[in-house]
Amino acid sequence: MEHRAGGRVVVSSAGNAPAAKVDPVVAQVLVETGADIATAYPKPLTDEVVKAADIVVTMGCGDACPVAPGHRYLDWPITDPEGPPIAVARTIRDEIDAHITDLLATLP
């Protein structure tokens, strides 16, 4: 999202069960798009992160994700990319990119 938004939005990425590091295959497919992932690292999804957001995008975490009243929530049903073969990681990346395109079209 940060790469595609071109500075229009501030993005914070987090997960409800973050890994110790970014999966190398996931990192590779992100770099293929031109995304700068030099400072990317897995972070926990906390109540504070959710409260600071205008829009919270989840990817299938369901009840495990914190909820703050008054926020816009979008749930994108995306396969968990943990340890995928590169072809699967590219498909997941492209699914997420399609959702990002749709979301960006709704923003002022």
In the chain, the domains with their CATH numbers are 2-106 (3.40.50.2300)
Write the pLDDT tens digit of every residue in 19-35: 889 999 999 999 999 99
Long-range CB contacts (< 8 A, 24+ apart) of 54-58? 55/103, 57/1, 57/99, 57/103
Write the pLDDT tens digit of every residue in 65-103: 777 787 888 989 888 767 789 999 999 999 999 999 999
Q: Is 37's pLDDT higher than 80?
A: yes
Which position has the token pair 């993005």?
Answer: 11
Q: Report helix, strand or coil for 9.
A: coil
